[in-house]
Amino acid sequence: MTLHIMTEIALRYFFSTSTYVLDEFVGYGVAAMTFLALGHTFENNVLIRVNFVLLKIRSNILRKLVEISCVVITLVMCSFVASYFWKSVSRNFERGSTSETIAQVPLWIPESLALIGLIIFVIQMLAYVLRLVSGSKLMSEQ
């Protein structure tokens, strides 16, 4: 993205022209980075989480049940979103849908990156729930 922005600046300043796709490609890049980073940030406990409720619960068993409930609810919601992304990716692939810009990027490509990120995130949450059920520590305790 930085290289594309620098190229765009040079083209506009020195040659009074443009690639005409900067905003589209930067948008795809930001979306891809965001979704692809979800699983990694969750696994390394750097995803922003609101733990103030968990920290107030004194009972370890109750805290673990609340944590499991929250993660399972998030897991179900992200799985639901991933299923809709899958439908959109497959539909765009079958139809050959492209963006409405001069680049005419096949829409299944950027959507696939978001879908892959969601799948990785769902797998990480599933692994976390299994660790919680097996007796590992909560993220808030680490």
Which pLDDT value is given to residue 139? 61
CB 67 within 8 A of CB 132: yes
Which pLDDT value is given to residue 45? 86
Which pLDDT value is given to residue 86? 97
Domain encompassing residue 61: 2-141
CB 36 within 8 A of CB 117: yes
- Name 10's Cβ contacts closer than 8 Å, sequence gap at least 6: none
CB 74 within 8 A of CB 42: no
pLDDT in single tens digits along all 142 residues of the chain: 899 999 999 999 999 999 999 999 999 999 999 999 999 999 998 888 777 788 888 888 898 899 899 999 999 999 999 999 999 999 999 999 999 999 999 999 999 999 999 999 999 999 999 999 998 666 655 5
Task: Count structural domains, the chain.
Answer: 1
